[in-house]
Amino acid sequence: MTPVVHTREWRGWTLHECAELGSTNDYARDLGPWEAVRAKRQTGARGRHGRKWESGEGGLWISAVLPLDPPQAAWNAFPLVAGLAVVSLLRGLGLPGARLRWPNDVLIGSKKICGILMEKFASDRVIVGIGLNVSNNPAADDTLLAAIATSLGSELPLAPPLDELYEDLLIALRILHARIAEEGLAALAEEINAHWGGTREVELTTAAGPMRGHFLGIDGKGDLLVRSPEGIGTHTAAHVQLLREV
pLDDT at 227: 96
Cβ atoms < 10 Å from Cβ of 143: 8
pLDDT at 47: 65
Delimit the CATH 2.30.30.100 region(s) of the chain.
201-245
Q: What pTM, to 2 d.p., does this model score?
A: 0.93
Q: CA-CA distance, 189 to 83, in Å (whole number)?
A: 12
Give the pLDDT confidence of 23-71 residue by residue, as tens digits.
999 999 999 999 999 999 999 877 665 566 678 899 999 999 999 999 9
CA angle 153, 56, 31 (to 5 degrees): 110
Q: What is the dihedral of CA 8, 9, 10, 11, to 10 degrees?
A: 170
Q: Which fold has domain 201-245?
A: SH3 type barrels. (2.30.30)
Q: What class does CATH assign to 6-193?
A: alpha beta
Give the pLDDT confidence of 168-184 residue by residue, as tens digits.
999 999 999 999 999 99
CB 224 within 8 Å of CB 218: yes
Delimit the CATH 3.30.930.10 region(s) of the chain.
6-193
